[in-house]
């Protein structure tokens, strides 16, 4: 859910700026994409990351890189379009399901890969960081969904 949250934050942040001033925001967006992708690609390319580990953390990291690239594209498109078409919103929410599934897989793989901390240290700790980020973003969306449902119920009771 971490990448889903990044797109959401980019979209909400870009709406504070007028449409003709969003180029500066695109530069910030590009820097943020580099900050997210660089450690993943660096660790994936390290020879130590290909050592034996019982859990497929390297495969999970490659899926994370692919989802990060898709998320960067969606964040750029979401910040440039005003209004965002319904089909793109649907694609964003489907991406959110994939991101949620990836977060769950990352969590399960990380929790069962404690022995990999000795053989593939950087890969394991990046997996831990992705698990924590996924948990925090899932909590964020759970609170946000709860507030949305509460607000929706209040509106329904007012009618």
Q: Give the tens place of pLDDT for each residue, 19-40.
A: 777 777 788 888 888 898 999 9
Domain-wise residue ranges, the chain: 2-158
pLDDT at position 77 over 80? yes
The token pair that represents 153 in the structure block: 């119920």
SS3 112: coil
Phi, psi of 10 (to 5 degrees): -65, -45
Q: Give the tens place of pLDDT for each residue, 89-137.
A: 999 999 999 999 999 999 999 999 988 888 888 999 999 999 999 999 9
pLDDT band at 142 (very low <50, low <70, confident <90, very high): very high
């Amino acid at each position: 859910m971490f990448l889903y949250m990044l797109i959401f934050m980019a979209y909400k942040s870009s709406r504070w700026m007028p449409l003709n001033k969003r180029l500066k925001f695109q530069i910030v967006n590009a820097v943020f994409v580099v900050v997210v992708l660089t450690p993943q690609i660096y660790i994936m390319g390290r020879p130590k990351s290909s050592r034996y580990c019982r859990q497929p953390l390297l495969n999970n990291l490659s899926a994370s890189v692919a989802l990060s690239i898709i998320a960067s594209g969606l964040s750029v498109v979401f910040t440039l379009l005003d209004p965002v078409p319904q089909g793109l919103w649907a694609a964003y929410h489907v991406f959110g399901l994939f991101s949620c599934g990836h977060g769950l897989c990352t969590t399960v793989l990380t929790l069962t890969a404690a022995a990999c901390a000795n053989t593939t240290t950087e890969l394991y700790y990046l997996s831990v960081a992705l698990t924590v980020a996924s948990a925090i973003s899932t909590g964020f969306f759970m609170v946000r969904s709860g507030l949305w449902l509460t607000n929706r119920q209040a509106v329904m009771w007012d009618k």
